[in-house]
Amino acid sequence: MCEIKTDKLMNRIRNGEKEAFREFYDMYNKKILMLAYNITRNFHDAENIVSIVLEKIWYGNFGHVEKLNGFIYKTTKFSALDYLRRNKKNRKELNYTKELERESVSIIDKDMMVTIILGKLKEKYRDVVIRHILFKDTFVEIADVMRVSRFAVQRRYRRAIKTLKQRFGKYDII
């Protein structure tokens, strides 16, 4: 999404336009859900975090949003971490496979399967892959956010993809 459209969309949301919020929801709901799931490893918690993030966007008092993808990524990540801290006692750790079997097939599409598999990566690799593939950030943009060199980001991306292909390539998901 280009910067001008992003500014207009966020301004319309700030002004309380429901149609603008609906557009935002249609564009980013799935991305927020997949990122939240990657952090929590639990679909129900991830759905709660999506609600929290969308509520922050709707009621939030945020200034100028220069890069919408980065804003959504950070808002989702910090909301998920905060959610986990607040609900630490009530949260049950679930095995990916068991949760995958329990969830209905209609919920888990190919993108969600990839998200579950990404959970098997180290966080520094997973963050690069998510930002590059899901949020369409360039390696330079990722490097700026992570405060590492572009070459380090590229190396992490290559290693992550290689690891995923070695571990899950036979399932024809990646």
**What is the distance between the terminal CA atoms of the chain, rounded to a whole angstrom?**
25
Residue 156 has what pLDDT?
Answer: 94
Whether 37 and 118 have beta carbons less than 8 Å apart is answered as no
Residue 155 has what pLDDT?
Answer: 95
Token reading at 38: 């990657």
* Residue boundaries of the structural domains of the chain: 1-105, 120-174
In CATH, what class is 120-174? mainly alpha
> Domain 1-105, what architecture?
Orthogonal Bundle (1.10)
Report pTM: 0.64
Token reading at 81: 């971490």
Token reading at 160: 């992550």
Residue 38 has what pLDDT?
Answer: 85
Residuewise pLDDT in 10s, the chain (174 residues): 456 677 788 888 888 889 999 999 998 898 899 889 888 888 889 999 999 999 988 887 677 777 788 888 889 999 999 998 888 755 554 444 445 444 444 445 666 676 677 878 888 898 898 888 888 889 999 998 888 999 999 999 999 989 888 887 765 555
Tally the residues of the chain: 174
Whether 16 and 111 have beta carbons less than 8 Å apart is answered as no
